[in-house]
Amino acid sequence: QEIADYNEATTSVVVESEGFSNDYGAQPLTTMFDCEIILAFTLEGLEMTFTTSSVDISSVICVKDIKVQQKMWYGWKTVFTSEGAESYNEDMFGADLTYPDAVNGKTYRVTCVHYANYDVYEEVENDTGAFKFVL
C-alpha cells in the first residue's frame, strides 16, 4: 500500500475572554482553548480533524455546523456540510471528517463552530481562511 505525500496546513483560534469584571473584580475564566481545524491533503480527499479543548470537564463539548466551501467566481459555495458531533463530561473533543470530492488546484475554506458548556455555554466560530487543495 502506497503512502500519499500530503501538505499540512494548520489553523487555530484561541478564545479570549471578554475581560469584563463583576462587582468583585473577578475575571471569568475562558472555557475553551486549542480550538483547531487541522487539514491534510490526501488522495482520499480533504481530511479534516476538529478539536475543542476545555479548561475542565464540560457537560457537553463539541464541534458543529461544519461547512466546506469552494471559491467560485461569484463567492463561496458550500459543497459539503456536517452537523458535527458532541461528547459529554469530557474536557476534550476530537472528530475527523473527509470531504472526498475536493478538486486538485481549487480553493476552499472550512468553517465550524466549537462549543463547550463548563459553567456557562460558550461557542466560537473558526474559519481556516482560503487555501488551495494541492496534491
pTM over 0.85: no
Average pLDDT in the 105-120 region? 90
**Is the pLDDT at 133 greater than 80, yes or no?**
yes
Question: What's the confidence (pLDDT) of residue 14?
Answer: 43
Give me the pLDDT at residue 30, please: 55
Which is it for strands 107-117 and 45-72: parallel, antiparallel or unpaired?
A: antiparallel
User: What's at 104, amino acid-wise?
Assistant: N
Q: Is the pLDDT of residue 27 over 70?
A: no
Q: List, in order, residues 6 or more apart from 74 with CB less than 8 Å away.
A: none
Question: Where do we find the cell 469530557?
Answer: 90
Mean pLDDT, residues 101-128 = 90
Of 107 and 12, the one with more pLDDT: 107
Where are the alpha helices (H) located in 66-113, listed in sequence order?
none
